[in-house]
A = this chain, B = another copy of it.
Amino acid sequence: MPKIVDHELRKKQIAEASWRVIQEQGMEGATVRNIAKEAGLSLGALRHYFSTQDELLEFAMNLVIERVTKRIKKIALKELPPKEKVLQILLEIVPTDTESMAEMEVWFSFIAYARYKKEGFDAQQDGIYDGIRNLILYLDQEKILRKNLNKEIEMERLYSLLDGTAMHALLEPKRLGKDKIYELFVYHLDSLCVDEV
């Protein structure tokens, strides 16, 4: 089935080109035209994958979800103390370097677009809310969650804390750098977990 192989290869090539353009020029520069140029393809060939700026944004958003999910799965498979594992996963979602900043920029653009333009938009579709719920359940299963906590509220609190921090890291990168974000999540996890012996 050479046609299917071609399709998958082409898709990967476009995804990588899109990503380079987004990183170098931001979402403002991520036009169908610029991506075709970067991928060395004709506009016609690219339009097979997305024909409008909105479709490009959805394509980029799916790319971000794929990338973040891949990194998180990798951490989940590591041999790490539970609290450290949760910390590393949280730090994969909040933008702290050029790559994750570009991801957050796509995410922010997508939310702003989807809120006004997309019918039946569901903000939870990025999977973050379910992921956060699972992190709290995981800490509980590992028996390191403090006894007096309300798990339901802790899920909501961590979800708000994560997205708020991610947004501030994108909008105020000078004030809220990598070290401060690390310190904040260590502090929060310490407040949820029993002291280590």
Contacts and interface: CB of A to CB of B under 8 A. Distances in A.
A28 to B, nearest CB: 6
Number of identical protomers: 2
A123 B172 contact: yes
Q: Give the size range of A's interface with the partner.
A: 35 or more
A111 to B, nearest CB: 7
B123 A171 contact: yes
Contacts of A23: none
Interface in A16-52: 26-28
Chain B CB count within 10 A is highest, among A111, A116, A160, A167, for A160
Contact of A28 (B116, B153, B160, B165): B116
A191 B109 CA distance: 34
A158 to B, nearest CB: 9
6 contacts: A111-B171, A112-B112, A157-B187, A159-B168, A162-B164, A167-B167
A188 interface: yes
